[in-house]
Amino acid sequence: MMNETLNQEREALIERSIPFLEEVKDMTAGSDVEHWLNQKYGPGSDLYESLAMLVRKGLADGWAANIEIEGPTYRRSIIAPPSERTLHFSITTVYADSRGNNQGHADGRVRGQYHGHPYGEFNMVVPLTPGAALNGPNGWCHGGWTAPAPGSAHYPETRGGALIALFFLPSGRISYRPAPQE
């Protein structure tokens, strides 16, 4: 019964995402779309609050962001691979917690795996602790949306505590590769 309940909650997150994906399927991620997302679907909107509640529940119940990438403070999981049902977007969760990390950045940020966005990314940021933020293309996001443009690449960085990100990748495209020399 427990697995059935968890699967129903995961399915509820996917179903709640589909009308959003229908709306953004022909948009190109970037600063203008990021601004639009934060205006229309930012914290306080029905979409943001319902997806945030579902992804927090998934984190608590162990079906979201449950695969350790760099220990328990940096985890991710694919909720849904790209398919006709999801309009060929993948739906993925990432959990990051900057508290107590040993990476040595002066501001305590934690840096995840360097990667690129061949087709862009729509990324919903849900802080789990006050002050937690994700570094997006337009600066630190303390809750709301980032939308890295097609062809962009970065280290995902979190500071100020723990957050979970729910991200939607067109065609599931993400490119993990070595970072350029700094």
Which pLDDT score is estimated for 102?
83
**What is the CATH classification number for the domain harbouring 157?**
2.60.120.10
Give the length of the chain: 182
pLDDT band at 178 (very low <50, low <70, confident <90, very high): confident
pLDDT at 1 over 60: no
Query: Is the residue at 181 inside a domain?
Result: no
Query: Is the residue at 180 inside a domain?
Result: no
* Percent residues over pLDDT 90 in the chain: 81
Segment 102-122 mean pLDDT = 90
* Percent residues over pLDDT 70 in the chain: 96
Is residue 84 within 8 A of residue 90, CB to CB? The reply is no
pLDDT at 148 over 80: yes
Is residue 110 within 8 A of residue 158, CB to CB? The reply is yes
Which pLDDT score is estimated for 179?
84
Query: Is the residue at 103 inside a domain?
Result: yes
Q: 141 lies in which domain range?
A: 2-175
Which pLDDT score is estimated for 3?
66
Query: Is the residue at 136 inside a domain?
Result: yes
Query: Is the residue at 122 inside a domain?
Result: yes
Tokens standing for 62? 């162990």
pLDDT at 100 over 70: yes
Alpha-carbon span 120 to 133, nearest angstrom: 20
Query: Is the residue at 99 inside a domain?
Result: yes
Is residue 93 within 8 A of residue 51, CB to CB? The reply is no
Query: Is the residue at 182 inside a domain?
Result: no
pLDDT at 57 over 60: yes
- The total of structural domains in the chain comes to 1
Segment 149-162 mean pLDDT = 95
**Model pLDDT for residues 2-53, shown as the tens digit of each residue:** 566 668 999 999 999 999 999 999 999 999 999 999 999 999 999 999 999 9
Which pLDDT score is estimated for 103?
85
Query: Is the residue at 87 inside a domain?
Result: yes
Starting at the edge strand found earlier in the chain, the sheet holding 175-176 runs 152-154, 115-117, 175-176
